[in-house]
Structure 1
Amino acid sequence: WNLQVYGLVDHPMLLSFEDVKAFPQYESKNDIHCVTGWSRLDNVWQGVRARDIAEKAGVKKEAGYVILHAEEGWTTNLPLDDFLAETSLLAYAHHGEPLTPEHGFPLRGVFPHLYFWKSAKWLRGIQFTKENHPGFWEQNGYHMRGDPWQNQRFTWD
């Protein structure tokens, strides 16, 4: 397994799991919200801040979006500001236990201020782009941003 960080960056990276865990560690407690209507409160995630990865890569000023690439070609998109949010992290543990394969082992994005489909499981790549490119669910009618507080579930919301 490795994580590729590329696109509009000064320093593209290919990180092993050990490389990811060498970044400063971060723990976050938050709620998650699914587009289907359920929420799970008080999740405690361990991982690294998305912004620390971005800083190390040296994101170029023309970058405005992030495309998260997961296993089997699955993708989702995020505005750069959402990726860099204080609560955004790349998690490898939940409540002190390593993620299970069902929940995204070895690494998943966690963006609790957005609907949970934006928190890509089985993360393999982080691509910084100038243009916004819809991911799998966005190409199939889900909202391009997915803010639960604005009820941004579908394209027409």
Structure 2
Amino acid sequence: MGPNMRDAAKRPDLKGRVPPGQYVTEKWPVLHYGSLPRFNPKTWDFQVYGLVETPVILSYEQFMALPKTTLQRDIHCVTSWSKLDVVFEGVPVRPLLEMAGPKPDAKFVMVHAEQGYETNLPIEYLLADDALLAHRANGEDLTPEHGWPLRLVVPRLYFWKSAKWVRGFELMAQDRRGFWERNGYHNHADPWKEERYSSPWE
């Protein structure tokens, strides 16, 4: 870590960019549960299902042919580091959801990833302009450790909500907690409110 990086949140030029309790790092720490999944482009697919008008199943080739965009955002990990000005490239989430046609009672989304991992979000976060399914970051393909071939990017929330190795969205009427949310992490995860962990009775 460079000099004064832990004090960066106190710098006037970063006011409003670094949430409480965070420090800025130039590195991108690797944190994940379990082993790295193997990627096979011939069998990989991405699905949007549940409360939708038309379920979507896309092969890897079909998914990568979708229109892409770039997005520069700061990211904030629940373990207290923040990385600024990360440039992601990938497929915007909103058009993908619109392709499936969410039903009116679809209020929540369970994000499904490899090895049974899942995390839950209110649907409005995925309909926002800054929700992205990224395959590149800072001009390079994502490494497997950072989610290759595809990771979700939802920069408004702590970064565990930006699941790696994503395989699909399940649209739901009622909220259902994902892996970390069932294991002591906050259900919402707003970094500006320091919604890191939940009490056992919540």
Q: Compute the TM-score of the two structures, normalised by the length of structure 1.
A: 0.96
Shift of 1:105: 0.8
Residue in structure 2 matched with residue 56 of structure 1 by the alignment: 99
d(CA) in 1 for partners of 2:104, 2:179: 26
> Which structure shows the bigger proportion of residues in strand conformation?
1
SS at match of 2:145: helix
For residues 120-141 of structure 1, what are the alpha-carbon distances to aligned partners after superposition, in whole Å with 9 as ceiling and x for unaligned?
0000111100111100000001
SS at match of 2:180: helix
d(CA) in 2 for partners of 1:67, 1:102: 22
- Alignment RMSD: 1.2
- Counterpart of 1:5 in structure 2: which amino acid? V
Q: 1:119-138 counterparts in 2 under 5 A? A: 119-138=162-181
d(CA) in 2 for partners of 1:71, 1:129: 20
Counterpart contact for 1:4–1:124, Cα < 8 Å: yes
For this pair of structures, how many residues does the alignment match? 157
Q: 1:63-142 counterparts in 2 under 5 A? A: 63-142=106-185
- Counterpart of 2:113 in structure 1: which amino acid? A
Counterpart contact for 1:108–1:122, Cα < 8 Å: yes
Counterpart contact for 1:7–1:127, Cα < 8 Å: yes
Deviates more, 1:114-123 or 1:13-22: 13-22
d(CA) in 1 for partners of 2:59, 2:83: 30
- Bigger relative CO (Cα 8 Å, ≥ 6 apart): 1
d(CA) in 1 for partners of 2:131, 2:192: 17
- Counterpart of 1:107 in structure 2: which amino acid? L
Q: Sequence identity of aligned pairs in percent? A: 52
- Is 1:154 matched up with 2:197? yes
d(CA) in 2 for partners of 1:147, 1:78: 11
Deviates more, 1:94-103 or 1:34-43: 94-103
- Is 1:19 matched up with 2:62? yes
Residue in structure 1 matched with residue 22 of structure 2 by the alignment: none
SS at match of 2:192: helix
Shift of 1:23: 2.0
Instruction: Give unmatched runs, 5+ long, in structure 2.
Output: 1-43
d(CA) in 1 for partners of 2:54, 2:149: 23
Q: Compute the TM-score of the two structures, normalised by the length of structure 2.
A: 0.75
d(CA) in 2 for partners of 1:151, 1:18: 39
For residues 25-68 of structure 1, what are the alpha-carbon distances to aligned partners after superposition, in whole Å with 9 as ceiling and x for unaligned?
11000011000100011100000111011011101110000000
d(CA) in 1 for partners of 2:53, 2:144: 32
Residue in structure 1 matched with residue 48 of structure 2 by the alignment: 5
- Counterpart of 1:83 in structure 2: which amino acid? L
SS at match of 1:136: coil
Shift of 1:21: 2.2
d(CA) in 2 for partners of 1:100, 1:16: 20
- Counterpart of 1:60 in structure 2: which amino acid? K
Counterpart contact for 1:31–1:40, Cα < 8 Å: yes
